[in-house]
């Protein structure tokens, strides 16, 4: 072998080794993007409310699934023009990563339209899913497809939903919003019959499959790539154990499981957003039992996501806004749970109190009592019923409360969740992993 040929072989071997070492270093040190990104959003996610939810679930020794997520932070959530946000501006902070004015959805103060996380994920080739316990055309769900400065214009949100290119998996309530007037007058009697209001819109140009029940959803082949629209109730979804007819009750965990099973067939991964505005709706009416129950249902859905998404997943659970100012008072026994947390406590005082709202009581009455000191007959207002939840300031609906919200996470990138953050930081964290 000539000296020249030997030198060339040595150089080639060195080049191959160099490239191999470089590739190995790149693969081991570069940031890996998770296959699955799942975002859970709920209202009322303050430390005080999560504590009450834990005690309601199982007493002082109970633990929520959320508490097992290793990374945690508190998020500031001010809107662009108000220090305390409402659902539209707070939803936009998460969905689009910018502060906007009160009542705006994905439109900044200058009028520029902002892309949502789901829209960006779709443009990057990921499958996309949106699950809501409210209506699919509700304000919080609309943050992922609508652009408006008036989030309370329901007809506009419906129009934008029907004009938007479909996500791969959408499930929620609000089927009655999508029925035509003819459908509602031809014997439907409020039940889910058709969604003809969408049949001749751009939404169905991609061959969307419409599903009207959980049984139908369970039967859908997981390998089909056709976009799915599951309208599972005429109005908002009713959680299991709500006391309503069983046919109307929906398990959020089951919907999340089926969403993951449908989306994970995409080799490029997926982004799933699970939005629960009904926690806030319960808080607005000062219904503590429903609020805590819905938080526990969301917690169970988080457990389901961890079980089905696998290890290569980024899962984030975040609050959005705080409503009503719920506080658990007194000194419950360590084993007290369920109704014992809702009822008048051992000291004879209401366990749950609200700062604003209508209050909650099974019965209000006026009683007459005699003062033991002066013998004068006086009238005193007494709220009868062990489940009384009084309010400090009576209003038809509870107001928003100033307070940072909790965000928790597990998976690639979630280590950035620590200390104090802004709600918009959640958006940026997810964008980095898409």
Task: Determine the pLDDT at residue 224.
Answer: 82
Q: Tell me how many degrees the CA angle 270-274-277 measures, rounded to the nearest 5.
A: 155
> In this predicted structure, which of 160-164, 203-207, 413-417 has the lowest mean pLDDT?
203-207
Q: DSSP labels for 229-255?
A: EEE--SSSPEETTSSS-GGGEE-HHHH
Q: Tell me how many degrees the CA angle 264-267-271 measures, rounded to the nearest 5.
A: 50
Q: Tell me how many degrees the CA angle 373-374-379 measures, rounded to the nearest 5.
A: 95
Q: How far is CA 53 from the centre of its chain?
A: 16
Which domains can be identified in the chain, with CATH numbers? 36-326+398-433 (3.40.720.10), 339-394 (no CATH)
With bands split at pLDDT 50, 70 and 90, how would you rate the model's confidence at 200?
A: low
Task: Determine the pLDDT at residue 377.
Answer: 34
pLDDT higher than 70, residue 367: no
What distance in Å separates the CA atoms of residue 275 and residue 138, rounded to the nearest whole number? 11
pLDDT higher than 50, residue 373: no
pLDDT digits 0-9 by tens, 244-257: 444 557 899 999 99
Strand ranges inside 14-168, DSSP E? 36-42, 71-76, 127-135
Strand 228-231's sheet: what is its strand order?
209-211, 228-231, 169-173, 127-135, 270-276, 36-42, 313-319, 405-410, 71-76, 420-422
With bands split at pLDDT 50, 70 and 90, how would you rate the model's confidence at 204?
A: low
pLDDT digits 0-9 by tens, 124-169: 999 999 999 999 999 999 999 999 999 999 999 999 999 999 999 9
pLDDT higher than 80, residue 31: no
pLDDT digits 0-9 by tens, 241-296: 655 444 557 899 999 999 999 999 999 999 999 999 999 999 999 999 999 999 99
Task: Determine the pLDDT at residue 246.
Answer: 47
> In this predicted structure, which of 105-114, 191-200, 333-342 has the lowest mean pLDDT?
191-200
Task: Determine the pLDDT at residue 195.
Answer: 53
Burial of 159 (0-12, 13-18, 19+ CB in 10 A): middle
Closest among 412, 256, 291 to 43, alpha carbons compared: 291
8 A C-beta contact, residue 211 and residue 250: no
pLDDT higher than 90, residue 317: yes
Task: Determine the pLDDT at residue 238.
Answer: 86
8 A C-beta contact, residue 310 and residue 35: yes
pTM: 0.85
CA distances from 328 to 148, 206, 413 (A): 38, 49, 34
Task: Determine the pLDDT at residue 388.
Answer: 84
> In this predicted structure, which of 215-219, 259-263, 296-300, 341-345 has the lowest mean pLDDT?
341-345
Name the pairing type of β-strands 238-239 and 249-250.
Answer: parallel
Task: Determine the pLDDT at residue 370.
Answer: 34
First to last CA, the chain: 53
Instruction: Say which residue, 182 or 387, is predicted with more confidence.
Output: 387
What distance in Å separates the CA atoms of residue 306 and residue 257, rounded to the nearest whole number? 10
Q: How far is CA 231 from the centre of its chain?
A: 17
* Mean pLDDT to the nearest integer, 99-103: 97
Task: Determine the pLDDT at residue 287.
Answer: 94
Burial state string for 215-234 with b = 16 or more CB within 10 A and e = fewer than 16? eebeebeeeeeebbbbbbbb
Whole-number average pLDDT of the chain: 86
Q: In this prediction, what percent of the chain has a pLDDT beyond 90? A: 71
Residue 290 burial (CB count, 10 A): 19
* Mean pLDDT to the nearest integer, 297-318: 97
pLDDT digits 0-9 by tens, 43-95: 999 999 999 999 999 999 999 999 999 999 999 999 999 999 999 999 999 99
8 A C-beta contact, residue 106 and residue 113: yes
Q: Residue 54: CB partners within 8 Å, gap ≥ 6?
A: 62, 63, 64, 67
Task: Determine the pLDDT at residue 223.
Answer: 83
* Mean pLDDT to the nearest integer, 398-405: 96
pLDDT higher than 50, residue 42: yes
DSSP classification of residue 397: S
Task: Determine the pLDDT at residue 9.
Answer: 66
What distance in Å separates the CA atoms of residue 187 and residue 181, rounded to the nearest whole number? 11
């Amino acid at each position: 072998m000539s000296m020249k040929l030997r030198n060339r072989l040595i150089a080639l071997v060195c080049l191959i080794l160099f490239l191999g070492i470089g590739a190995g270093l790149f693969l081991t040190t570069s940031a890996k993007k998770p296959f699955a990104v799942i975002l859970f959003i709920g209202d009322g996610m303050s430390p005080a409310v999560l504590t009450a939810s834990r005690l309601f679930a199982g007493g002082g020794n109970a633990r929520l699934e959320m508490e097992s997520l290793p990374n945690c932070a508190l998020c500031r959530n001010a809107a662009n023009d108000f220090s305390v946000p409402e659902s539209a501006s707070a939803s936009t902070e998460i969905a689009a990563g910018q502060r906007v004015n009160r009542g705006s959805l994905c439109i900044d103060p200058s009028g520029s339209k902002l892309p949502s996380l789901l829209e960006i994920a779709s443009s990057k080739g990921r499958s996309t899913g949106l699950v809501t316990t409210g209506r699919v055309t509700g304000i919080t769900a609309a943050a992922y497809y609508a652009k408006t400065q008036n989030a309370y214009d329901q007809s506009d949100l419906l129009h934008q939903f029907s004009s938007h290119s479909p996500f791969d998996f959408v499930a929620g309530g609000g089927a009655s919003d999508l029925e035509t007037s003819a459908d509602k007058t031809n014997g439907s009697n409020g039940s889910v019959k058709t969604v003809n209001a969408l049949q001749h819109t751009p939404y169905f140009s991609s061959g969307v499959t419409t599903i009207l029940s959980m049984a139908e959803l369970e039967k859908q082949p997981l390998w089909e790539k056709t976009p799915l629209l599951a309208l599972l109730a005429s109005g908002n979804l009713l959680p299991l154990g709500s006391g309503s007819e069983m046919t109307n009750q929906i398990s959020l965990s089951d919907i999340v499981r089926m969403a993951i099973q449908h989306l994970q067939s995409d080799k490029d991964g997926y982004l799933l957003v699970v939005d629960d505005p009904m926690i806030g709706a319960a808080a607005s009416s000062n219904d503590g039992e429903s609020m805590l129950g819905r938080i526990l249902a969301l917690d169970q859905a988080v457990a389901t996501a961890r079980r089905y998404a696998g290890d290569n997943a980024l899962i984030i659970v975040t609050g959005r806004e705080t409503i009503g100012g719920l506080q658990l008072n007194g000194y419950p026994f360590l084993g007290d749970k369920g109704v014992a947390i809702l009822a008048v406590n051992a000291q004879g005082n209401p366990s749950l109190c609200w700062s604003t709202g209508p209050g909650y009581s099974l019965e209000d009455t006026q009683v007459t009592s005699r003062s033991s000191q002066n013998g004068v007959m006086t009238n005193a207002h007494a709220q009868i019923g062990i489940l009384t939840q009084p309010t400090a300031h009576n209003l038809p609906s509870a107001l928003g409360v100033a307070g940072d919200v909790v965000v928790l996470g597990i998976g690639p990138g979630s280590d950035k969740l620590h200390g104090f953050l802004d709600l918009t930081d959640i958006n940026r964290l997810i964008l980095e992993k898409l």
